[in-house]
Every structure is written in C-alpha cells, then in structure tokens.
C-alpha cells in the first residue's frame, strides 16, 4: 500500500503518499497505544460526501481521551483534513483512515514526553466482505478467542491494540474456511465480529448485544437503529447467546467497512433460509439510500467534501 501516488495528511501537511513515514522507534509501534477511525465517503448526486463525519471525529477524540492521549488538533481541523484528503486524491467514493499515535521521542511504557501525531489517508475500497457476501450472506465462525473484557483495553476506544484480538479471530476464521469471526464476551455472550457489530432477527424483532458485551459503539449500528425506527421495526439491546443466533430467522453484520452484510451461516449451521433475509434486505437497501444521498431526511449526515 505504501507504493502509491497521492497525498496523505500528516500532522497538518499534505505529504506525498510514499513519503508518509514514521520512525521505527515510534512508541505506538512498540506498545500499541493509539486510536483510529474508519470512515467512508460516497458518491452522491450532490457530489462526494463523507458519511457521519462529525460522529466519527467525535469517536476518534473520545478514543484518544480514553487512552489519555491529547490530539494536538481541533475537531474542526480533523474534519477539514478528511475532506481535503478526499479532494486532494480526487476520490469519488472511498474509505478514510484517520489515525492518532504516540511519537518516537522516547521509549519505555510511559508515553509521557512523546509527541502525539495524527494522519488521514483515503483510498478506494469496495465491499469489505465481498460483493457476493452482500447479496448471498457470509459464513461466520464463533471464535475460540474471547472479546476484550470491558476493563482490559477499553472497548469503547477504537484502540489500535484491540485489533490484535480482531486479527487473531479473523485469521482463525479465514484459515478454517469462513468469511469472518464472531467473538463472544468473557461471560460467553455474543459480542461482535472482528470489525463489525452484529444484529439478529427473530419473529420480526431485531436484537443486538448491549455494549456491556464489549462491542464497539458502531456508528453503522446507530444508523441501523434509525432505519429500524423508520421501518417501524423494534430493536432490542440485550445479552444474546450463540444458540440464539443459530435459531435466528436472519442475521447481519454492520460496520463502516462492512456496511450491512448479511450472515447466512454460523458454525456451519444455516440461519433461517440460509441466504439474505427479507428484513436484512430492507435495512441494507435503506442504508444504501441514506449513504448515497437518496434519502433527504438524512442529508445532514452527509458532509460534502
Ligand atoms: N466493532 C469493531 C471491532 C469494529 O472495528 C468496527 C468498525 N469500526 C465496528 C464494530 C463497527 O463500527 P462502525 O459502524 O462505527 O464502523
């Protein structure tokens, strides 16, 4: 990925993509304390727009706060940086990756005395779990790895270090021939995917784990709450067991990268009809209308670049 044309915003400057480098003694590289965001921009009839930009920037600042890092830019500057990166790289639709990390002034577990950095990159990225998965649904495996307990690395921070857990779970699932992992919390209840929140549907009601199961407070998750309300569907946040997923009528993952991806199988057990369910399809379609600017009720969620 490093060998590309384009620009990356780094600490207030537009830097050539190939020159956007850090030192090997960067604190975050050694100890894993940093935070990032995943954001998408869509090509709408009114031009390219970033979806729920302010919410993503708020979460980035909250993640940094939880990790005791002080981002040396304002939220407005970070919002502007994201718009500028999309414009500068002439991207019509893309994924954006803001990242804040601790510098290389000194090592040792205490980060005190180090500079806090921020960068924003953007590139074209299609369906995260595959175009076919979007239509047919994906195959998921319950992970042998447990999701972080809420009092370990802090689950409401989109912390760099939390993703070792995601990587292990995802690699295990892929090595076993599945598309993605489902992680359980330390009490054995359903938490979330390696990079997605999960929803299950039973008898017309939508269920999703409450955040005490250690799942990230996903912005797409919140978008689905709005969509369900518009569609007159009830959403219940509660503890969910893996066998409740086995006997669900439908299930889907949500995430900025994954968008709304149906789940057709968990642990080789077919869910419902074994393909994308009708309620999932309605939610997916409403989601794409909103992000692509086809639902004027949500125009305020689209920040023109
Ligand atoms: N959980 C995890 C672990 C994630 O990495 C993501 C992706 N950011 C999500 C949930 C979904 O969050 P969002 O909808 O805000 O992208």
Residue 187 scores a pLDDT above 90:
yes
Q: Which residue, 126, 26, 41, is CA-closest to 84?
A: 41
User: What sign for the dihedral angle of Cα 106, 108, 113, 118?
Assistant: positive
Domains of the chain: 7-123 (3.30.470.10), 131-291 (3.20.10.10)
Q: Which of 65, 158, 238, 282 is catalytic?
A: 158
233: which 2 tokens?
A: 């569907």
Q: Is the CB of 197 under 6 A from ligand 1?
A: yes
Mean pLDDT of all residues belonging to the chain: 97
Alpha helices in 90-209 (DSSP H): 131-136, 162-175
What number is the average pLDDT over the span 240-245? 98
* pLDDT number for residue 127: 85
Q: Is the ipTM of this complex over 0.95?
A: yes
* pLDDT number for residue 73: 98
Q: Show Cβ contacts of residue 66 under 8 Å, excluding neighbours closer than 6 positions.
A: 154, 156, 157, 159
In the annotation, is 112 catalytic? no
Express as a percent the part of the chain with pLDDT over 70.
Answer: 100
Pocket test for ligand 1, best of 216, 219, 224, 261 (most atoms within 8 A of CB): 216
Helices then strands, each counted (H, E), the chain:
8, 17
Ligand 1 centre distance from Cα of residue 196 (Å): 5
**How many angstroms separate the Cα of 173 from the Cα of each of 13, 140, 145?**
39, 7, 11
Give the dihedral of Cα atoms 156, 161, 166, 170; nearest 10 deg: 160
* pLDDT number for residue 126: 87
DSSP label of 137: -
């Amino acid at each position: 990925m490093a060998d590309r044309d384009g620009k990356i915003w780094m600490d207030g400057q537009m830097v050539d993509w190939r020159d956007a480098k850090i030192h090997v003694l960067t604190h975050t590289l050694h100890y894993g304390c940093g935070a990032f965001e995943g954001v998408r921009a869509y090509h709408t009839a009114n031009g390219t727009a970033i979806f729920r930009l302010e919410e993503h920037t708020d979460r980035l600042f909250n993640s940094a706060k939880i990790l005791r890092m002080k981002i040396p830019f304002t939220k407005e500057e970070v919002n502007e940086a994201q718009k500028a990166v999309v414009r500068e790289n002439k991207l019509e639709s893309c994924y954006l990756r803001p990242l804040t990390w601790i510098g290389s002034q000194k090592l040792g577990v205490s980060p005190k005395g180090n500079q806090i950095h921020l960068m924003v990159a953007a590139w074209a990225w299609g369906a995260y779990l595959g175009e076919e998965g979007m239509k047919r649904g994906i195959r998921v495996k319950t992970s042998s790895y447990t999701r972080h307990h809420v009092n370990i690395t802090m689950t409401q921070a989109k912390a760099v270090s939390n993703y070792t857990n995601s990587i292990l779970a995802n690699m295990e699932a892929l090595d076993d021939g599945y598309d993605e992992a489902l992680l359980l919390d330390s009490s054995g209840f359903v938490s979330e995917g390696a990079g997605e929140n999960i929803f299950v549907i039973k008898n017309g009601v939508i269920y999703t784990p409450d955040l005490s199961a250690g799942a990230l407070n996903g912005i797409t998750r919140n978008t689905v709450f709005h969509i369900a309300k518009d569609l007159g569907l009830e959403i219940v946040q509660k503890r969910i067991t893996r066998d409740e997923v086995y006997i669900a009528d439908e299930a889907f993952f949500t995430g900025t990268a994954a968008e709304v991806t149906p789940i057709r199988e968990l642990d080789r057990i077919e869910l419902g009809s074994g393909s994308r369910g009708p309620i999932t399809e309605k939610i997916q379609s409403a989601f794409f209308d909103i992000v692509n600017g086809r639902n004027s009720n949500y125009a305020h969620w689209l920040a023109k670049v």
